[in-house]
Amino acid sequence: MSTSPQRAFEALGLVLPPAPKPAGLYKPSLVVGPHVYVSGHGPLLPDGTLIRGRVGRDHDLDGGANAARQVGLAILATLIASLGSLDRIRRVVKVLGMVHCTPEFTAHPKVINGCSELFAAVWGADRGVGVRSAVGMVSLPDDMAVEIEAIFELA
């Protein structure tokens, strides 16, 4: 990778939301050995509000993917707040994406691509893509549209 992850992110010209505060008794991120584990994050916007509702009812596929991308930005905000720079991350290891959706909606992987594509743009096509699960949920906290947790390898 010729460009550092932090520089790659900056070149995208995206705006980060504030690093989310815990909504319960947990840590937003935790370094354990060579990994950083990131708790479930929602689609937090720069003004501190969430993208809410169900994919398949309140959001179409593109709206869901946009919500997942916004979750990815919230995760990046947490990583920068806790580690100081995205350059501290060597690679994405695992992403678990949960889509708040209607029972008939089945394109969960395409929704979570919104986050995965962001990570690939930051860390590159190889190191920005790890293993992944994408599942549908009948509800999520605060009616958020998407929740994602992730594991990263430290550099």
What is the pLDDT, as a whole number, of residue 3?
83
What is the pLDDT, as a whole number, of residue 154?
98
Smallest Cα–Cα separation from 134: which of 60, 78, 64? 64
What is the pLDDT, as a whole number, of residue 23?
86
**Confidence label for 1 from pLDDT (cuts 50, 70 and 90):** low
Domains and CATH numbers, the chain: 5-12+35-154 (3.30.1330.40)
* pLDDT over threshold 90, residue 125: yes
Q: What is the pTM of this model?
A: 0.97
Whole-number Å distance between alpha carbons of 140 and 3: 36
Whole-number Å distance between alpha carbons of 113 and 108: 9
Question: 34-83: per-residue pLDDT in tens?
Answer: 999 999 999 999 999 999 999 999 999 999 999 999 999 999 999 999 99
Q: What is the DSSP letter of 33?
A: T
**Confidence label for 2 from pLDDT (cuts 50, 70 and 90):** low
* pLDDT over threshold 90, residue 11: yes
Cβ pair 130, 90 in contact under 8 A: no
Angle between helices 108-123 and 61-83 (to 10 degrees): 40
Cβ pair 133, 24 in contact under 8 A: no
Question: 71-124: per-residue pLDDT in tens?
Answer: 999 999 999 999 999 999 999 999 999 999 999 999 999 999 999 999 999 999
Query: In this structure, what token pair is assigned to residue 106?
Result: 């089945």
